[in-house]
Structure 1
């Protein structure tokens, strides 16, 4: 037997204004200009310029909004609210402000284009003397290159694709011959199928009469596995090299480019780094200010706002009048919400940055990393009395210009490590000490993680071996075996 029951639940939903603020808060300064231009293009009720001292009825702020609604509702000529019999979200039709977390958050800031790697290769390939068959095969191979310049698809698979998709019959040997012509293009190493072939292609471009080049070729061609495992003594013995020759061979090989595609790679995804905050010292006192691009002057178009007064005198039963009033109020609402969200963004950014400045004041005075205090998102959230997620949105994509350089805000957040004296120090300080220990270690016998743990403990840092390994990996430092040098 079915039973009917009622359940009462409490749900938290973001209002359109909150969504607007969140989306604006998390974008960096470099993208704010583009976002504002989009809104200006989509909303005729919004315009650039300082707010006027005398405001229209619609431009009133704060508690005046309620008075405005009452005046409009009591107007004898037209009742606007009766025309707006729809959800509040319908007035929030602004470009790029759909569902939270949509693809527009991943929008890239446009930068100037340049000649890409594949464009350069196509140009060079056009000058080769080839048959029509070879030229077609070569273009297919060029299209199969990956971003780092490697050809990782087997030639057999490429030959099969050409037969089934293009009806072109070829052999692995023919593809191999065409690939060798591609490998003769610039940069050296392009079209390699693995790292060993990439290094050999670059070494074969060098002076073959040079003894060091000859030894390097033999090393990569015959002892590549030993070289990759840094068994240098074994290679030195088998090739009968002295200490100086072995050192020169190693230096020659490590200067080769393991990713030839990066020489002229496509960097269209690069973005210009623009500071969101400027930190300066005035009479010995540190003061933070917003980048001027974070404080655009926006206002509601006065002429557009006065359009409502004009339609008050129109026939309220006319369908076109109702549609026009709905459109005008939607755009005015959107413009006001956008301006308020920009102002709220500025206030939140300043509150967060001032809290970080106060917390890390000793560091900002001298730029000494050892003076960085352990600081997590919750510490700043408690100071500014906001949610941790808000602080996270500010810190994840913002940066500050100081006298010591440009720092991302997330640089100042780190966990704490206890010392023998019972004090907490920043994990960043421990990482700096760890890096210094590794840089000063014997190159022929690098320190293991166990040894690094003991050295750090001797300096007063209570840290476990697994934490040493974690910090070493975060610093992109390989294990001791791979740091070994001749």
Structure 2
């Protein structure tokens, strides 16, 4: 049975402008320029003042006070949904960029870092294969093996699968023994260890390329062949007894094995772009007073296109407005709205970034003055959200991908947030302080007898931090410090 009824619902929806602002807010400075270029390409009604001013005379655009309402250029015109006043703005003055750091405006800063052109890992192997006097069949097998290697330089696929691939995709009928023989040829290539099917084989290939008459190399080969599990678990006492070696001899063997490369495929692959960090904020110490500035790359000089504004003016003056003209102006209005929203989102992004970072700086003032992690106060996202009157998710978007440059180094904002731990005296301290103490004691420990988690727990209790052993283990893992057994050295 069909029924009709009326009901009321309260729904909360994000407007397109809010979605655009959220997406822009989480974009770091290093990616903002790319995002702006994408918008400039997609929307012809949006222009970059720094580019347009090169070709346009300054006299065409009289200065206006950015805080005043825009002037009305079409008094007496027909009143309808389109109003050119909403899109006119000052073309020469960047009213939201002048208050920020201008250190990034030099020509040198706009130039990208040159990246050396070098052969990739697979191109390097293919070049070595090209130099060998091989038959066509062996060459095809070798090329198939190289193409089957993973990024670490290992051959993870079984020989039988390679034989099938050659038959079905290359129409090359090869025996498993032929592929095996060609694999041995590939394993002689540089970097040493390439083409291995396991870590053990990778290390053995590298060791056998050295002077095998050297007693240290001989013993290292023996350790990798028969005692790799004991070696990885650092059971040095067992190795000394099994191989009848002194601690000094074992130290030489261990050092020789540690020099080897467990991932030969990574040796040529260096992503320079990922190593680049552009700070979003700068904090300077001016005679004991901290000064916060926003990277000037966050304040692009954007404006609404003059030609699109003139299209609107032409519509206002037109005596007859037919359907085609209205459709054209509807398109122009859509692009103008999009440009205006984007400029507003950029402004709001800058204000939010500065407001959030200023609250963080004031909260952690002592740390930014001294650079000592022990001065970091316990701080969670809610603390900053309450101070600036914004949602926790907004603070999280700012903290997750933004960096600040100080006199003591460049830090990710997320690193300033930490939970509180209560000492025996009742004082609340940051868990960063506890991690710092743990790091200091582990750094000073006797590597022959490293400190176990139980011992570290006792040391923290002696310093007034009543923390459970499992919490110590959690902090140690967060700092990427292995357990005591794996920190052992000879």
Structure 1 and Structure 2 fold alike (TM over 0.5): yes
Partner residue, 2:353: 349
Q: Would the aligned equivalents of 1:316 and 1:322 in 2 still touch at CA under 8 Å?
A: no
1:53 and 1:449 map into 2 onto residues whose CA distance is 70
Inter-partner Cα distance in structure 2 for 1:320 and 1:111: 50
Q: Which runs of 4+ in 1 moved over 6 A?
A: 59-65
Report which stretch shifted further, 119-128 or 390-399. 119-128
Give, in angstroms, the shift of residue 256 of structure 1. Answer: 1.5
- What's the counterpart of residue 221 of structure 2? 217
Following TM superposition, by how much is the alpha carbon of 1:62 offset from its aligned partner in structure 2, in angstroms?
9.2
| Cα distance in 2, alignment partners of residues 303 and 236 from structure 1 | 82
- Cα separation, 2, equivalents of 1:192 and 1:237: 30
Report the secondary structure of 1:306's partner residue: helix
Q: Confirm or deny: 8 A CA contact 1:111 1:271 kept in the other structure.
A: no
8 Å CA contact 1:24, 1:341 repeated in 2: yes
Q: Deviations over 1:407-460 (max 9, x none)?
A: 111111111111111112111221121122222333233222222222212221
1:201 and 1:247 map into 2 onto residues whose CA distance is: 21
Decide which moves more: 291-300 or 168-177: 168-177
SS of the equivalent of 2:274 reads: coil
Deviation at 1:310, TM superposition (A): 1.0
Instruction: Tell me if 1:259 matches 2:263.
Output: yes
Measure the CA separation in 2 of the matches of 1:432 and 1:304: 58
Name the structure 2 match of 1:152: 156
Query: Any idea what the Cα deviations from partners look like across 1:263-282, whole Å, max 9, x if unmatched?
Result: 11252662521010111112
Verify the 8 A CA contact 1:114 1:266 in the aligned structure 2.
Answer: no
State the partner residue of 2:211: 207
Question: Which TM-score applies when normalising by structure 2?
Answer: 0.86
Which of 224, 238, 244 is the aligned partner of 2:242?
238
Matched with 2:165 is 161
C-alpha displacement at 1:383, in angstroms? 0.8
Structure 2 CA distance for partners of 1:6 and 1:162, relative to 1, 3 Å: farther
5+ residue gaps, structure 1: 83-108
CA root-mean-square deviation: 2.6
Aligned equivalent of 2:41: 41
Written as runs of structure 1 = structure 2, the 5 A alignment for 1:362-373 is: 362-373=366-377
Instruction: Please give the residue correspondences for 1:191-202 in structure 2 after superposition, counting only pairs within 5 Å.
Output: 191-202=195-206
Preserved contact between residue 115 and residue 266 of structure 1 (Cα < 8 Å): no
The question of 1:24 aligning with 2:28 is answered no
Q: Are 2:364 and 2:376, in contact at CA under 8 Å, matched by a contact in 1?
A: yes
Counting only pairs closer than 5 Å after superposition, residues 125-144 of structure 1 correspond to structure 2 as: 125-144=129-148
Aligned residue in 1 for 2:340 = 336
Aligned pair partner of 2:177 in 173, 176, 184: 173
Structure 2 gaps of 5+ residues are 54-60, 84-111
Alignment partners' CA distance in 1, 2:198 and 2:66: 67
Aligned pairs, number = 452
Equivalent position to 1:455, from 430, 455, 459: 459
